[in-house]
Amino acid sequence: MQVHPRVLMSAYACGPGDEPEAAAGWAFARAAATSHQVHVITRHRFAPAITAELEREPELAQHLTVEYLDLSERVLARKRRGSDVYWYYALWQRALARRAAELHRATPFDVGHHVTFANDWLPCGLARVRDLPVVWGPVGGASVIPLRLVRWLGLRGTVTELLRGVLTAPLRAVWGDATARRAAVVVAQNETVARRFRRARNVVVEPNAALDDDLPERARPARPVPPGPESGSAPHVRRAVFIGRLLAWKGGRLAIETLARTPGWELHVYGTGYERPALDRLAGRRGVTDRVVFHGHRPRAEVLDAIAGCDAMLFPSMHDQAGWVAAEASALGRPVVCLPLGGVPLLADSNARPADLNGDVVGHLAARLAEAATAPGAPSGRWSVSRLPDVVTRLYRTAIDTAVVDTGAPTGSAA
């Protein structure tokens, strides 16, 4: 009888649906279950969707066990604001470490895998479990904004980024570096994070994007290049989309400045956030109010249709670790005009159109956007969910082999 390696997975967010972080956790869990016995620890809020999915797929349920862990009602009651997720997550990881150690002592696992909400400056509970080879990630967070871009953050954005650096740098040095030393494999969301933890035993770059296999089938042919002005036809307006929360570091101001320098384009913005009033004012000052359309937060299906129908995605985010929207645009064959920062160029893959950071950044973005009108992209399946079974198998094999080298003996149930 074939013995499947046993995997203990920590997934703070995990479940089928449109929530990217939870969808990533669920995709990794499903992928691992194709050739492993997987025990996932996540939170109760995902139980209904997971239970329904396992009932629909009894074969998956034979290889995937899900356990739900939350802190006490008293602690949960104090988790009211969005920022409270960070202290709650740290406490949750401590509780997970205790539960994981109990499970590992009772029936040893071959490998542990920490996925989702894997900020590289927050603790990893699995790293505290003795004699368990750990795969940490995909993790992100180490990317920083170059000083030359600070002018497009505004006051609130600048203060936020300063606080982010002051608060996360020491935590990364304490928790992140300790986890990287303990982990058998560090999985980085992008090259910047990989460089930060380059001294770890094994470092690989693998974003957590997990797109539906059929997403490229929704791609539409690129619109033809319009005739020149000598034809006498009406001017053709190209459409760019910006998708994301309207936070300063997402680059909304850069997007509007870029539009102001690119005649013949309009910008459709999908998302909400504190930057909206500033973006309205900037569009007015640059004289492009009639070429910027704010759609607010929209359902994912509508957003995907917007991407499929655009000429380019304009997404000058300054430190996105792994913005799925860039991967979705690439899957739909749309050029992604971006900055060479974070995970956006990686996820846009062959459809990335990164702008030079030297000199006139807005001018470089405008030039790349103008190029997109005559150099459309092509649908890409690079980040399809179907790649993940092979990915996790390689990660686990590396982790187990590393543990054997370190200890001189096999680990877990596969021993």
DSSP sequence for 9-44? EEESS--SSS-HHHHHHHHHHHHHHTTSEEEEEE-G
Residue 409 has pLDDT above 70, yes or no: no
**Maximum pairwise Cα distance, the chain:** 78
Residue 217 has pLDDT above 80, yes or no: no
Euclidean distance between CA atoms 48 and 414, whole angstroms: 32
Residue with tokens 């001017």: 235
Phi/psi-derived region of residue 114, left when phi > 0, alpha when psi is between -120 and 50, beta in every other case = beta
> Which DSSP letter does residue 285 get?
H
* Averaged pLDDT, 128-144: 92
Q: Is the peptide bond before 221 cis (omega within 30 degrees of 0)?
A: no
Q: How do residues 81-132 score in pLDDT, each as one tens digit?
A: 888 899 999 999 999 999 999 999 999 999 999 998 878 999 999 999 999 9
- Provide the mean pLDDT of the chain: 90
Cβ-based neighbours of 136, under 8 Å, separated by 6 or more: 114, 118, 124, 126, 127, 179, 180, 183, 185, 186, 187
- Rounded to 10 degrees, the C-alpha dihedral 123/125/128/129 comes to -160
Q: Which of 20-24, 94-98, 161-165, 229-233 has the lowest mean pLDDT?
A: 229-233
For residue 133, what are its two tokens?
């080879």
Residue 231 has pLDDT above 50, yes or no: no
Are 207 and 189 in contact by the 8 Å Cβ rule? The answer is yes
Are 184 and 398 in contact by the 8 Å Cβ rule? The answer is yes
Q: What is the pTM of this model?
A: 0.89
Q: How do residues 344-403 score in pLDDT, each as one tens digit?
A: 999 999 999 999 999 999 999 999 999 998 888 889 989 999 999 999 999 999 999 998
For residue 215, what are its two tokens?
């997403």
